Amino acid sequence: MQERERLQKELEKARAELEQLNELLKHKADYGIGEGDPAIYDWELNLALRQRAERKVKSIEEALQKLGAGTYGVCERCHKQIDPERLKILPHTTLCIECARAEQQ
């Protein structure tokens, strides 16, 4: 599968997930001092998941722009080619494995 097709499919999935989370967040449980609905925990979890989904959508859109500009698959930190196997797993990654590991430390 070509990079553009793979990124487009990832983007569709991420947007669908974002839409689903937005639906779940439409109904917020009520809580006051000393009392609360246990559903508020689920609402806050879905809020965090929505933020993650929004970042993923943005990341994939940026990867598609890079593909159009001819800079897709190039590490943003060291400017070396990102391993094609890494791109198969994380098609919207911006770092090679070495730079990603260095960032984790």
pLDDT digits (tens, 9 = 90+) for 11-53: 999 999 999 999 999 887 666 666 666 778 888 899 999 999 9
pLDDT at 36: 63
pLDDT digits (tens, 9 = 90+) for 52-90: 999 999 999 999 999 999 999 999 999 999 999 999 899
Residues ≥6 apart with Cβ < 8 Å to 63: 7, 72, 91, 92, 94
Single pTM value for the model: 0.81
pLDDT at 37: 67
- In the block, tokens 């890494």 appear at 86
pLDDT at 27: 80
Distance CA 51, CA 12 (A): 17
What contacts 24+ positions apart, CB below 8 Å, involve 12-15? 14/53, 14/56, 14/57, 14/60, 15/57
